[in-house]
Chain A
Amino acid sequence: MKKDEPEIIRLIPTGVPGLDRVLGGGLPEYSFNLVAGGPGSGKTTLAHQIIFANATAERPALYFTVLGEPTIKMLRYQRQFSFFDTQLVGSAVQFVNLSAEVLEGDLSGVLDRIVSEVEEVRPGIVVVDSFRTIGGRAGSVEQQSELGIEKFVQRLALNLTSWEVTSFLLGEYSEKEQRNPVFTVADGAFWLTQATDRNSVVRKLQIVKARGTAPMPGLHTFRITGDGVQIFPRIPEQTLARKSPKRERLSTGIAGLDEMIGGGVIAGDAVMLTGPAGSGKSTIATQFMVAGLKNGETGVIAVFEEYPEEYLERANARDSKIGEMIEAGKLEIIYLRPLDLSVDEALYEILDAVNRLDAKRVVIDSLSGFEVALAPTFREDFRESLYRLVGTLTATGVTVFMTAEVLEGFTDVRFTAEKVSFITDEIIIQRYVEIEGKLKRVMAVIKMRGSEHSHTIRTYELTRDGVILGGDLRQYDGIITGVPRLRNPAVPSPGEPASARLE
């Protein structure tokens, strides 16, 4: 559109969280849309949510019900949603049943009834639910009627557009039916699906057609709750403008660890802490967050392995700062463990909290729990999903501290079980070693992108006050095997100064 031309196509808000973003700003006014999907995919709920968000006494919404779900039952169920305002029913939102006309099998009669209701009520939005019922019955009588379904759809679209109506036809179509004439005439086509994989159900939305707008491509997961449909747009990392972090150093809250990583975590980086069960990953992650809070920063902790109450109880036992900071609105603990989670949903929840608190630090505890919380279908591309999650979070300028559990191998060094070390800027590993018949915890810094770091392996203790680093183990060889051998003090290690042996 030229700059000096007035805006012809106004985009109207749908009232469905996330949908406007997917649609590229909203729904084109007076568009003729098809909402397709299988039974129970959320078509009716989506349509109700849109009409209740937009209907007014001056421009009401007309909701035509056909055969299929009886109107009384539909109202009974839909009124459970928080968006359903019973005060609007009868005035701003009017329901009209077309079953009598449809049963007669005469599409002209159906069209005439719709048009006469539109002329009388002057609605801003019209919904026909289910349009498939009209089409299905028309298919059987098409030979008897001169008005085929194609002509019917075209005339309906023309009439509704002439009356300046934004309309939705709801129908149970399968993906094989995308050559149906309805799809050709429609300005917009929304495809809703729900797939069951093992014990999880994943709902997805795709905008397969959108005249006049630039919708986000791909499949977007959505959830139906008591508040209706919520869509979690698939956010490609590259669409976000990256904030340039100041590259300042952030304290981990553990003095010795800050030294090992060259003075602290680099702001805006993604840090991965990996270790076996009981190695203190959550403790260190919490210390990292508390260090920021004590410095006046804000933060978000996403927990996947335990309930927030349990997490809080453990954290408070070491440092009451956590509870105080939550009350003060400086810290938020997000619980994400539904087992049918999508990465986009997790990202939405975390980003929402980051924006709300203007957070500087984010802890994800743990990636292992996150992977389990995902619906099986998303676990298959966990690495790609995690790449998007971390990329999108760090693009906002926050520093992300993730923990990941690895199985203790004793014969090799594993950075992560998920093979996702490539997405991180800094990697710290923990493990157990056996020294003099006792298990000792050790940690080392494996990777610091763009910065010097210590290469020593240091012991540490988990105390009531958190993690306290001990000395290094330079007098031992074979530490990464898990069973170090005390080196002969007479033989210096390669490159080691003789004085080091005396420490």
Chain B
Amino acid sequence: MAIALSRWIGIDGCHAVFSRAKSEAEAKHAALRGVSLQMRAAQYVEGVGASVEQYGDDATAEGIETMLVGVSELLGRLVGADMARNLIEQSLPDSTQDEPAEKTRSAEA
């Protein structure tokens, strides 16, 4: 998703948004402390495996989910919720041009 989002807003822009979201999510979820965001790396989010080992599946998933919600909310505040939703929909790995209803559902989820 981060790589796809970078197509729209650039690697730096995308990283700035994710970093802010992670920073805020980290305050609530200790499981994110070992997770790092690697700009220009093939794998953008690193340390998830170690976090799962240390904090467990649920805690790590909750932390990442909070971070992604943060990305969505931050983008919404910056460019408007409707456009942010469009950008995220286009960036989701499963999104295809032929399935707008599916995209909407997955974005809402």
Contacts and interface: CB of A to CB of B under 8 A. Distances in A.
Contacts of A97: 6-11, 13
Interface residues on B, range: 20 to 34
Interface in A68-118: 70-73, 75-76, 79, 86-87, 89-91, 94-97, 99-100
Contacts, number: 58
B93 interface: no
Contact of A79 (B8, B12, B75, B79): B79
Contact of B79 (A65, A72, A87, A91): A72
Interface residues of A, number: 19
Contacts of A70: 9-10, 12-13
A72 B89 contact: no
B80 A96 contact: no
Given A72-B78, A72-B79, A86-B80, A65 B10 contact: yes
7 contacts: A65-B10, A70-B12, A89-B86, A95-B8, A97-B6, A97-B7, A100-B11
A79 B9 contact: no
Nearest to B9: A71
Interface of A: 65, 70-73, 75-76, 79, 86-87, 89-91, 94-97, 99-100
B53 interface: no
A458 B75 CA distance: 73
Which residue among B10, B11, B12, B90 has the maximum number of chain A CB atoms within 10 Å of its CB?
A: B10
Interface string B4-28: 0011111111000100000000000
B87 interface: yes
Contacts of B13: 70-72, 97
Given A79-B83, A97-B13, 9 more contacts: A71-B10, A72-B17, A72-B75, A79-B80, A90-B86, A91-B97, A97-B8, A97-B9, A99-B10
B83 A86 contact: yes
Contacts of A90: 86-87, 89-90
A115 to B, nearest CB: 15
B8 A71 contact: yes
Nearest to A57: B97
B58 interface: no
A105 B69 CA distance: 35
B82 interface: yes
A97 B6 CA distance: 7
B62 to A, nearest CB: 27
A99 B7 CA distance: 10
Interface string B43-58: 0000000000000000
A95 B87 CA distance: 10
Nearest to B75: A72
Nearest to A67: B10
Contacts of B8: 71, 94-97
Contacts of A65: 10
